[in-house]
Amino acid sequence: MSSLIAVGFKDEFTADAVILELKKLQREHLLELEDAAVVIRNKEGKVKIKQTQELTANGALSGGFWGLLFGFIFFNPLLGWAVGALAGAVSGALTDIGIDDNFIRDVGSTITPGTSAIFVLVRQATADKVLEDLSKFEGTVLKTSLSKDDEAKLQAILTKA
């Protein structure tokens, strides 16, 4: 079962740095992320969400490939590519996997202006190594699906920074 973790940071840039660190840990097979997002609330209070999975672009690329293939079969590859890309983009835009966008938006609107937060859905992790690596970032646990003990350990690591 996946664990949801949302952590807030004191500036607009730390969340991006943490996501980069998590991606590095994922390449090292210490962490398996199902989904991740960064929320930035600028000084004016406007909330910006950056998803790590671009479903619209991926859908357009996949749809374009299949449309081109079917277009070759029916002797009109350009039309097939265009229709396939459009259908794939629409499908990708309407697909919502991982962390609920409304949840991200709701929690993101509660953070202080000029700050940021990350939302991660973790399938599995080598906890001791991941926590050691994240100990260089200072943050506050906002929401989790972790047990109270695990949440307290995570907060202790993020407070030590």
Tens-digit pLDDT profile for residues 45-78: 888 888 875 544 555 555 655 565 556 556 666 6
Give the model's pLDDT for residue 55: 45
Whether the model pTM is above 0.75: no
Q: Which residues lie closer than 8 Å to 149 by C-beta, 6 or more apart?
A: none
Rounded to whole angstroms, the Cα distance separating 73 from 116 reads 49
Please state, in angstroms and rounded to a whole number, the distance separating the CA atoms of residues 17 and 9.
11
pLDDT 10s digits, 21-44: 989 988 999 888 888 899 999 888
Strands in 31-41's sheet, in edge-to-edge order, are 47-51, 31-41, 115-125, 3-9, 140-144
152 has pLDDT over 70: yes
Query: Tokens 């990350």, residue?
Result: 118
